[in-house]
Amino acid sequence: MRVKTVVISMLFVLSACGIQPSGGRTDTESRPGGSFDGTCQKPAALTDTAVFLEDIKLIISNKCGFCHNAAALPDNRRKPYLVEYDVAKSYATRMVERMERTGAGKMPPEGSQPHLEQRDIERLKLWIAGGYIEKPVLPTIDQNKPIYYDPEIKNLMDSQCVRCHQPGLQYPYLNAYDDVKDASERSKIRIDDGTMPSEGALPDDLKKAFSLWISRGSPRSAEDCTH
């Protein structure tokens, strides 16, 4: 009984410190069978610009979309439908002004959940200053030359997939070579049928380039290529 009591006490202390016994997880990663709240982010190397489909639509959907979307109750007070690009663009400056208010007229209203953070407002300002970019810039891959993970496939993953598929967010992770290679066949199915990226299907030339990379053994670099 004494040993059992000591073990229970130790587990309680570990739990209080945020430490789990071997095999446990303290992060919020989504693996098969897990959950994912749909909130993605751009890789650190890509945060110098803000893009509507990568940044702004997510912020609006998560923080404003409960009311300001076409699926909300048919109430004129809930317009404009800010999840649409043209509408968000025309209201962007006004959105910033309402978000930075204190007291009456502040949007979202005080106490709204999920809470609008200052970094969300800064992303919106960056989007305005950058010229209201709608879609991420697609990389180009010359299919007449050898295709490697670095730089061709890495650039494709970083610009189109890593925003969601990275540790702490959604599985499979696509931010490192081994992970991309391991998930390549699964990824190819989703890319080919147009269900990924979630913002819209890749053009056929990029789909073909990804398939070619896989068929040639998924080489990391020129040194790894045996074809």
DSSP-assigned letter for residue 180: H
How does pLDDT run across 66-121, given as a tens digit for each residue?
Answer: 777 766 555 555 567 888 889 999 999 999 999 999 888 898 888 888 888 999 99
DSSP H helical ranges for the chain:
2-16, 57-63, 85-99, 118-129, 154-160, 177-182, 184-192, 204-215
Report field, pTM of the whole predicted structure over 0.85: no
Phi-psi category of 56—alpha, beta or left, where left has phi over 0 and alpha has psi -120 to 50? alpha
pLDDT of residue 80: 79
Q: For residue range 40-71, list pLDDT tens digits in order.
A: 655 444 457 888 887 888 888 888 877 777 66
CA-based nearest residue to 194, from 224, 149, 222, 160: 160
CA–centroid distance for 122 within its chain: 17
